Each structure stands twice: as structure tokens, then as C-alpha cells.
Amino acid sequence: MTELDFAKGNGLITAVVQDAKTKQVLMVAYQNRESWEKTLATGETWFWSRSRKELWHKGATSGNTQKVVNITIDCDADTVLIMVDPAGPACHTGHTSCFFTPQKLATQS
């Protein structure tokens, strides 16, 4: 198993969460070693809340859990791509994905 580089991100790695069926990017969050290990042990996503300074289990309050299907580690071992089977919306706003606000480029008319 590849050892993740938690030191590079001051104890955190970036976790990109993608729907295993649709391939839609659902969310980006952060994991510390404990949330990473809980994700591996439980088969559901766990993260570290930078604002609340605590572990959180995705869906613990909403019921919108994410069952892990596959995990891939990037070449620098500081980011993971977690493919999931979601049990509801990923975004706290109720959207399927946290990525729903388009940004217009200056070069676009």
C-alpha cells in the first residue's frame, strides 16, 4: 500500500470525491490520517473539518452517506480520488454536487 504524504499539507491531504456511476465530481474535502484510516476501515467517507477542527462522517446528520467503491492515490501521494456510491446529495445546499456555480471567463462573451 502507498504511504500518503500528510506532512506536505500540514497533516492533511486533499480528497476529491466522484460518483462512481456518473463520474460527476461531487465534492472536495480534506482528510487527516485518522479520517483516512476510518474511511478505509468503514468503507464510507470520513473527513477533517478545517473550520470546526473535528472529524466528520459524510452523511452522519443528513443521511447522505457515501459508500466507497474505489480509491486512487495521485503521483505525489498527497491527493486521493475517492469513487463513491452516494446515498443522496453531496452538497449541504441539497445539490447533487458542490460544483454547481459556473464561472464566466473574461475571454467569453
> Residue positions in the annotated binding site for Zn(2+)?
75, 91, 98
Known binding residues for Mg(2+)? 74, 76, 78
Q: Which residues are annotated as a binding site?
A: 74-76, 78, 91, 98
Q: In this structure, how many other beta carbons lie within 10 angstroms of the beta carbon of residue 4?
A: 19
N- to C-terminal Cα separation, the chain: 48
Q: What's the maximum distance between 2 C-alpha atoms anywhere in the chain?
A: 49
